Structure 1
Amino acid sequence: MSEEILRALIRLFAVISKQDGGVTEGERNYVMAFFRQQLGHDDIEKYIALYDTYSGYGEDSAKSTTTSLEDSVLALRVSKKINQTLTQRQKIIAIIEAIGLINSDDVFSELELRVLDTVATIFNISDETLTLLREFVTSESLRAYNESCTLIAGHQIRERTDALFLELAIAGQLTFIYEKNTDLYFVKYEGSEDLSLNSMPIITRKSYLFPVGSTIKLPRGQTIYFSDIIFRFTRLHDRDKLSFIATDLEFNFPNSDNGLKKLSIEESEGQLVGIMGASGSGKTTLLRLLAGIIKPKNGEIKLNSINISKLDTHMEGSIGYVPQDDVLFEDLTVYQNLYYNARLSLSNKTNDQLDEIITTGLKNLGLEHTKDLKVGNVLKQTISGGQRKRLNIALELIRQPPVLFVDEPTSGLSSRDSENVIDLLKELTLLGKLVFVVIHQPSSDIYKMFDKVIIMDDGGYPIFSGNPIGAISYFKSISQQLDHSKVICESCGNVNPEQIFNIIEAKVVDEFGNFSDKRKVSPEKWYEYFNTKLKKPEVEEIKKRPNNVFKIPSLLNQFSIFLQRDVFSKLADKQYLLVNLLEAPFLALILAYVIRYKNSSTGEYLFLNNDNIPAYLLMSIIVALFLGLSVSAEEIIKDRKLRAREKFLHLSKSSYLLSKVAILFTLSALQILLFVLIGNSILELKHMTWSFWLILFSTATFANMLGLNISSAFRSAITVYIIIPVILIPQMILSGLLFNFDKLNNTISSQGVVPLIGDTMTSRWALEALAVDLFKNNNYEYPIFEADSKMRNASYKTAYWIKEMKNKVNFVANNFLNKDELIRANVGDALLTIKNEIIAEPYKGKLVSIDIDSALILERVSPKLLLLLHNYLKEAEDHYNEASVEGQKKMDRIIGLLENSDKYEYDATRYKKLYFNENLSTLVRNSDTKDRIIEVNNHFVRKVDLIYFEPPFTSNPVNYRAHMYAPKKHFLGMSIDTFWFNIGVIWAMTIILYITLYFNVFETIVNIRWFKR
């Protein structure tokens, strides 16, 4: 209290005392007692002298008496001065002191009442409140007492009253009143026994403030706690009855003895329960157990007789959980965070109703002025830490859960913000909520707000459960401290909860007088005391279900809400938008500019002669993979805490994931479009925009899903970004461009088909699709590709296949009669190769009438058979020579028709320069290979003109495997264009990754014990 206010109060007391003949001894003694409560010993004489001067104490009555008009004017002036400084709560305390002063001589004169009315009017104290306070102080009558504002505790009531009653074995009675406008409680004792309030003796018939955390000690060892009184007042309100009963709870972490030792808890509505303990003692574990987030090893938890692990649709949402960390969208405003949360929790409300609920909630929490501010993050704050905590709590309060669990709500906050947050939680209990709070090192004021505390010790041992003030006395008593009954400071009313842990963790002193590491009382011993000395809690088990406004939307609506929330969050992050929208064009510009190669002989750029086009295809794929991975890498990591909360609320995981997928796919589609438009334009890659976009977009979607899986598996964004290069490098190595699949390590390579390890690489499918599509579907090649294929395939047969077959037949003819075993084995191999090739060859000629399989064996070789084979190969050579000529003629005819047609502007020479690329042709034809045909496992493997060679059908309908750059693939009896088949494979891989994401396959692998090591 300031000097100025104290002097004003002294003047007010003096004005009141001067009425009716001056100051009486009783009035002066009352003022002295007031000073002893408010001042130090050294200041009392000074202010008593000041009071005596103002009141005229010791003067003649004639001198000290003033007119009532002068007193009223002075009282009015003093009251106005006080009114400008004191809070309404302080004014109530001042008025009750003024009433006590008037009542000190047991006389209430008309003049004193007039002054009192003047003061009350200035203080904006209603007549109803003034009457209640006056009758409480004077004990004139109990007519103003009723159950909403008065509680009488005692054995017998001296007259009939409508007040609440509490049975106590004391002589006389304690009267408690509740002033609802200021939320203040006062107490008075009328009796002959010795009672103490906060360790200070109670003077009979004197009124005392009964603040939060107060205790009254009764003569026979009983204690009345503040929570006992407030509980009886608040139970009068029309609210749901709750019973929260946890029976014999036990929990152990995997492969550990740590967890929670057996504990039973029974609580009812309107309670604020604190969970305290040293770090690692199991506070948060207990909170998560009680909230149903983790399952106990033994025991069960019931809310209104229903096991919380089996809550039905009606009961879902009955429990709220506020984690220690933020579950806020930092790029959304305060209002938007609450709005989307409300839409996911209160689907049966209209937008207008939601707006009203949110606006009211913001006002009640003191956040109304922040509604349009971005939440921000810890490093870039736009709202304070205390406001963030209140906003996190508001997310749960929107749906009004009957039971609320809050983990460390005061961590990182100032003492003022901490008190504001706990005040908020305390107010919830007055509305009938049951609130459990994990708290560390609370201040005296915060500690006294709790109705009950549960104290945990190392190893998960519960060692106390009961009233917070009683906890200090309990531990002092067990440790045999002489002052165990002195808990509250007599001068300031504070308590020191830290002394609890000083007692719990007290160390043994060794023989040298130093503290050892050994505790005086082990956690096991404290747990033993807990089970033997403390009374087990009991509450009435309620059968009626609590009201529940929680209702989650349908899966489709959840998807829509998740989508909107994420879109607005991303749109609000300008840096995110700028980077992701400019990244693709920048990379396209750099890549295309660098590889736009001009032929040195002509000095002009021709697409035909740009040797870097294959590299451009590969780098485009790598860019698509990089963009897809980088944009999705943090998506689930940053939402991990939020998803834990949404899982707790039973919101749909698939709706959430699909909303992420929709946003990422849309963003990737735009990025790839910008990349293709710029890159292809610079390199003059004409008329292939949409096919390029489709294959690169498909690649990016695969990367999106892979990024989401990685984001789900790891808990650090740094780890994810380290992994991205580890993913991209194998995609480059095994794409088929940097290293020929035929020339890889023998343990993984395969001849004639792409090795399986290559088939696991998205880059391989994308590169093949791009290369094949660009070669065969460009404006130059597309009209003539079929004829060109016919000519090239026929030329291959005549130039390489028939030549090798003749060599094999000649070798057999020269050696089939040789008796040398090694040579005969080689002849057998040659015959097997001839047989396999003829069986696979579409053109059989005159061999169609022969059983090739049985004829071509060493034992049945004859000159006649060899002659037949020679004639067949000659016939086949003539057939393919003719086919080659026909193919060339068809090409010439098509080109002629197109060039001479008025409908088309086809010019073969010009079109080849514009649309055809020599280096790409070399790549897909493999025309620079030295080995045009090789033998592998008694089969000839074609190594040249691969783009023209369609793989043969096999007996296995699901055998899709083919050589790199095959124009078509065979699957399920169908011949499918490579472009569409490869896109299908990429999307199949993408779908598989969605399934692994949904079932947390990557996370499970990462969390395997050996992997974690």
Structure 2
Amino acid sequence: MSEEILKALMQLFALITKQDGGVEEEEQRYVRSFLKRQIADTKYDEYYSLFKEYAGLNDLDQDNSGSREIKLTSVLDSVKILGICKKITSTLNQTQKVIVLVRLYELVNANRKFTDQRMAIITTVAEVFKIDKNEKADIEYFVTGNSPEKINGKNFLVINDDGDIPPDFLHIPTEKIDGEIIILMIPSVGLYFIKYTGNEDIYLNGLIISNRRIYLFASGSTVKLPKGMPVYYSDVASHYLQDKTTIRISYQVQDITYLFPDGVPGIRNINFSEGQGKLIGIMGSSGSGKTTLLNILSGLTPPTTGSIIINGVDLYQDKAKLQGVIGLIPQDDLLIEELTVFQNLYFNAKLCFRDKTNEEIRELTDKTLASLGLGEIRDLKVGSPFNKFISGGQRKRLNIALELIREPSILFVDEPTSGLSSRDSENVMDLLRELALKGKLVFVVIHQPSSEIFKMFDNIVFLDIGGYLIYYGNPVEAIMYFKRIDAQINSDIGECPVCGNVNPEMIFNIIESRVVDEFGNDTEERKMIPETWARTFSEQEKITTTEIVTESPPRNLRIPGWLSQFGIFSIRDFLSKISNRQYVLLTMLEAPVLGFILSYIIRYIADPNSDIYIFRENENIPVYIFMSLIVALFLGLTVSAEEIFRDRKMLKRESFLSLSKSSYLLSKILILFLISAIQAITYILIGNTVLGINGMTFYYWFALFTTAACANLIGLNVSASFNSAITIYIIIPLIMIPMMVLSGAMFSFDKLNRVVGSVDKVPWIAEIMPTKWSYEALMVRQFKDNQFQKQFYPIKKAESVADFKQVYLLPELNNRLEKNRDEFDLKGSVSETINDLVLLKNEISKENILVPDIIFQNVEDISPEKINGKLLDQIKLHLEKLDEHYSREFVTATNQRENMVMYFMEQRPGLYNRMKDMYHNETVEEHVRKVFEKNKMVEYRNGLIQQIDPVYKDPFPRNWFGFRSHFFAPRKYFLGRYFDTYWFNMGFIWFLTILFYITLYLDLLKKLVQGFRKN
């Protein structure tokens, strides 16, 4: 209480007592007693002298005759009273004003002199203080025992043994006591006052209660009776709540234990039960298992043994039945930093109330913000703790608002006061206390609370290192319990007799007190180990149980449908991104800048004496295609790598809402795909324009976008699986480098390590690399489908096939046939050249399929057992027919190509060369045709593998699902038909993208990482 307020009170006391004959001894005694309770002894004389001066006791002693003239309140006194009240009004809050009014009534009750003048002064004070008339009447009746106004019996509670109470009064029965204890609640300010009318020793927080003296019954208070159980603040509050709340909760913790993955106990055999309207603190030193217990109690971490029953429903067996009942506020922020205060709460509300309109949700959001004192900052961006737009206390209150707006029946809060000032801490705890007073059950993990905060709790759960439960019960009683175990003097006193403060730090000091060595120094050994503390508590204290409730707990949660959730998540994510200007600027400029840098550097002019750029001669186009795909891969990974990791705390809380995981993930994917699509098109528009790549904009964009989209899903998998941003960005190179090496651009697949490489097909390990599919698709598309080449490609393909068969394949088959004939003529068998015979059979079988007009009927007879001279002659004749066939094919194709060239030259002079310069690139052709391949054909697994002109060679169909082929194949075979390489490859990347989405949805990578971590 401030000096100015105390001086004002002395004036009010004096003005009241000097009426009707002056100050009497009982009134002076009350003032002296009041001052001794409020101030230190050194200040006592100063303020008592002030009272005497205002009351006129210093100016004139009482008349010896003892006669006292009854005086009416003077005009001057009335003016003084109004002035003093107005002064106090501008200084005190409403709670303090109520306390002042109670003290004024207590003053006049000291000698029970209730004259009209005195009561008129008190009425004036109440009116100026704007105290409700009904509450004033309740206070008057409570203090004096009479009231001219009708009182509200429901604001009174009587504690006695016979149940003889006035109508409507609340009652707590107890064992035999003299008199009764009466408690008054002031609803407007949530204050409780207590008085005792008997003559036995009744203790309030360890201090004896004087008969008929009025005491403030604050949070955490305990009344100890001569007989029977103590009466706690929570007992009193719950009785008043019975008629004000329909919430009924029974929360039972039964034999909970928890072992960490390495087998170390985290929580040991914890039992307790709680009901609605309670604020429960979870305390303990670092490493005692507070957060672990909170996670178990809230349903996040299943216990190793034991169960948690909420209104008859097992939290872990029937979790769906408790949907929306539990809320969680972690220690860390759950806020989206880029959104405003209003937007954070608004989108959270939209995910909770599907039946409310947008306008109703806006009104509810504004109402909630106003109730928490956040209305003035509704349009401010939240920002990060390091880039603050709002204070730490405001951030905490907004975090609480996220849960408060949907009003869960049970709320868990982890370290709500961490990092806050003492004032902000008390404001936050006041909010939680108010929730409990509304009938909620609130659990709070807190480390070392102040006295005020400590007394707010109805009960505390105290843990010691190793997860031992060493105390459960009333907080003020806890101090007395530990003092008693430690054999301290005054162990029956829980709070300071003068100021009423308690010292929670004392509990930690007692628990962690050390053994002293012979030199008087503390050792590392504790006086009592955690196990001893736990055993002592279980032996000395009995945990009371609450009423078991079986009715379903109320649920205000009405989550929207899948599509609505998807829309809310998408809009929320979109707004959070566009509000971050730096993010938008970098994201939108990164791709075109990279595209310009790369294309400008590799814009190569072959003729050193010319300034004319010719696309056909630029040898860097394959490098540009490859690097473009790597840029798309890199951007796709980096833009998504932190998306889920950044939301992990928010997802933890929203898991209590049972929202659709797929709607959240797909909303993320939609925004990422939109970003990747924009990045791809801006990159291509710049890069392709600089390099003069014409007619391929869509195909380049779609390939880059497809690659980036697949990278988005890979990045999301990584983001969801690792618990550190540093780890995530270390993983990105481990993903990118294999994709670069196995893309086919840097190394030929048939020239890799034999364990990895492959001769006739792309290796399996490369088949899962999206860069391989996109690089192959773009290179093949750029070569065969540009405006120039696509007119000649079918002809050149036929020409290439016929040429290879004539020049390489058939001569080699004839050579193998001659080896077989020579051995057969010499030995009558082909034992030494059996592999050559098998190769002949395999290749002829292929030709039977490829050239159905020229079929070798006796292909099954080509075997060592059935070989004979006649069969060898038939094979020779068949190879000659094939040679004639391919010769005709080659001549026909060559003539068609030459005729087309001649037509262009005659009809449209110059167009042929212009189109070739604009659309065709010689280096791309060299790559896809493998022009410089030394081994034009190789033998592999009893077959001949074509190494040159892969872009002209269709893969040979093995089976319906045999989609694998050689690199740069123009078409892909699947399900009995051929598909264009570009579209098949794009489709396969999207198939991989879908697979990565499935792994993301099922958290397969996360589970794999956790499995390795456990091992």
**What TM-score do you get using the length of structure 1 for normalisation?**
0.94
Q: Is 1:37 aligned with 2:37?
A: yes
Task: Give the letter aligned to residue 188 of structure 1.
Answer: K
Residue 278 of structure 1: how far off its partner (Å)? 1.4
Match of 1:929 among 933, 948, 961: 933
In 2, Cα distance between the equivalents of 1:811 and 1:423? 98
* Contact map agreement 2:134 2:152 (CA 8 A) in 1: no
How far residue 846 of structure 1 moved from its aligned partner, in angstroms, is: 11
Distance in 2, matches of 1:849 and 1:254, equals 68
Matched, 1:836 2:839: no
2:75 and 2:948 map into 1 onto residues whose CA distance is: 120
Q: Which moved more, 1:985-994 or 1:162-171?
A: 162-171
Distance 2:409 2:839 in 1: 81
Match of 1:491 among 491, 498, 522: 498
- Aligned 1:427-826 pairs, distance under 5 A: 427-599=434-606, 600-814=608-822, 816-818=824-826, 826=832
Residue range with higher mean Cα deviation, 825-834 or 575-584: 825-834
Check 1:870–1:394 CA distance in 2 against 1; reply closer, same or farther (3 A cut).
Answer: same
Pairwise CA distance, 1:962:
2.0
Whole-angstrom CA distance in 1 between matches of 2:233 and 2:862: 107
Whether the aligned pair in 2 keeps the contact of 1:506 and 1:520 (CA below 8 Å) is: yes
Alpha-carbon shift at residue 269 of structure 1 (Å): 1.1
Tell me the alpha carbon deviations over residues 249-268 of structure 1, each in whole angstroms, 9 at most, x when there is no partner: 23222331412222222211
Q: Could you tell me how far 1:314 is from its partner in structure 2?
A: 6.3
Q: For the structure 1 residues 265 and 385, does the alpha-carbon distance in structure 2 shift closer, same or farther, using more than 3 Å as the test? A: same
Deviation at 1:467, TM superposition (A): 0.9
Contact in 1 for aligned 2:220/2:474 (Cα 8 Å): no
- Distance in 2 between residues matched to 1:723 and 1:330, nearest whole Å: 26
**Residue of structure 2 equivalent to 1:212:** 219
Query: Which of these residues, 1002, 1005, 1008, is aligned with residue 1005 of structure 2?
Result: 1002
Which segment drifts farther, 795-804 or 569-578?
795-804
User: In 1, distance between residues paired with 2:851 and 2:76?
Assistant: 134
- Equivalent residues of 1:142, 1:161 under 8 A apart: no
Q: Quick one: which amino acid aligns to residue 546 of structure 2? A: V
Q: In 2 relative to 1, CA 7–960 (structure 1 residues): closer, same or farther, beyond 3 Å?
A: closer
Distance in 2 of aligned mates of 1:844 and 1:689: 38
1:293-332 matched pairs, under 5 angstroms: 293-311=300-318, 315-332=322-339
Q: Does residue 152 of the first structure (1) align with residue 158 of the second (2)? A: yes
Change (3 A) 1:457 1:723: same
Write the distance in 2 (CA, Å) between the matches of 1:971 and 1:846.
Answer: 24
SS at match of 1:1007: helix
**Could you tell me which residue of structure 2 aligns to residue 137 of structure 1?**
143
SS of the counterpart of 1:1008? helix
* TM-fit CA distance, 1:826: 4.9
> Cα distance 1:580–1:697, how it changes in 2: closer, same or farther (>3 A)?
same
Deviations 1:588-624 (A, max 9, x none): 1011111110022543111110011111111111111
Q: Partners of 2:876 and 2:456 in 1: how far apart?
A: 105
CA contact (8 A) 2:137 2:149 kept: no
CA deviations 1:20-60 (Å, max 9, x no partner) are: 23222222222222221222212222332232222221615
Matches within 5 A, 1:57-136: 57=57, 59=60, 68-136=74-142
Question: Structure 1: which amino acid aligns with 2:215?
Answer: Y
By how many angstroms is 1:154 displaced? 2.7
SS at match of 2:351: helix
SS in 1 for 2:153: strand
What CA distance in whole angstroms lies between the structure 1 residues aligned with 2:215 and 2:389? 43
Q: Distance in 1 between matches of 2:951 and 2:675?
A: 34
CA distance in 1, matches of 2:563, 2:929: 49
Aligned partners of 1:455 and 1:465 also within 8 Å: yes
CA distance in 1, matches of 2:228, 2:820: 116
Distance 1:160 1:133 in 2: 16
Deviations 1:663-697 (A, max 9, x none): 11121111111111111111111101111122222
Q: Given the alignment, which residue of 190, 194, 197 partners 1:187?
A: 194
Report SS of the residue matched to 1:442: coil
Correspondence 1:406 to 2:390: no
Structure 1 runs not aligned, ≥5 long: none
Q: Is the 8 A contact 2:137 2:148 kept in 1?
A: no
Residue 938 of structure 1 deviates from its aligned partner by: 3.2
Partner of 1:249: 256
- Is 1:972 matched with 2:980? no
Alignment correspondent of 2:361: 354
Alpha-carbon deviations, 1:80-100, whole Å to 9, x = none?
A: 333332222222222332223
Pair 801,500 (structure 1): closer, same or farther in 2 beyond 3 Å: same
Query: Partners of 2:244 and 2:972 in 1: how far apart?
Result: 76
Structure 2 residue aligned with 1:890, among 896, 899, 917? 896
What residue number does 2:943 align with? 939
**Alignment-mate amino acid for residue 924 of structure 2:** L
Contact in 2 for aligned 1:845/1:872 (Cα 8 Å): no
Give, in angstroms, the shift of residue 993 of structure 1: 1.0
Shift of 1:581: 1.0
Cα distance in 1, alignment partners of residues 964 and 221 from structure 2: 82
- Name the stretch that deviates more: 368-377 or 94-103: 94-103
Question: Which segment drifts farther, 633-642 or 796-805?
Answer: 796-805
Report the CA distance shift for 1:432/1:856 in structure 2 as closer, same or farther (over 3 A).
closer
Please state whether the residue corresponding to 1:767 is helix, strand or coil.
helix
Residues 324-368 of structure 1 show CA distances to partners (whole Å, capped at 9, x for unaligned) of 222221111122122221222211222222222222211221211
The CA RMSD over aligned residues, in Å, is 2.7
The partner residue of 2:179 within 166, 172, 176 is 172
For the residues of structure 1 that align with 2:164 and 2:788, how far apart are their CA atoms?
A: 112
Range that drifts further, 640-649 or 864-873: 864-873
Secondary structure of the structure 1 residue equivalent to 2:777: helix
User: Is 2:926 the partner of 1:912?
Assistant: no
The answer to whether the 8 Å contact 2:253/2:272 transfers is: yes
Partner of 2:316, secondary structure, is helix
Q: What is the alpha-carbon distance in structure 1 between the residues aligned to residue 448 and residue 901 of structure 2?
A: 88
Q: How does 1:950-961 map to 2 (within 5 A)?
A: 950-954=954-958, 956-961=959-964
Are the equivalent residues in 2 in contact too, given 1:925–1:946 (CA < 8 A)? yes
Retained in 1: the 8 A contact 2:138–2:152? no
Which runs of structure 2 are paired with 1:841-860 in the superposition (5 Å)? 841-842=847-848, 848=855, 851-855=858-862, 857=864, 860=867
Asked whether the 8 Å contact 1:845–1:875 carries over to 2, the reply is no
For 1:220 and 1:869, locate their aligned partners in 2 and report how far apart those are by CA, in whole Å.
115
Q: 1:8 is aligned with what amino acid?
A: A
User: Are residues 232 and 856 of structure 1, via their aligned partners in 2, closer, same or farther at CA, if it must alter by over 3 Å?
Assistant: closer
Please say if residues 155 and 172 of structure 1, whose CA atoms lie closer than 8 Å, have aligned partners that are also in contact. Answer: no
Amino acid at match of 1:176: I
Q: TM-score, normalised by structure 2?
A: 0.94
1:369 paired residue number: 376
Rounded to whole Å, the distance in 2 between the matches of 1:735 and 1:1007 is: 30
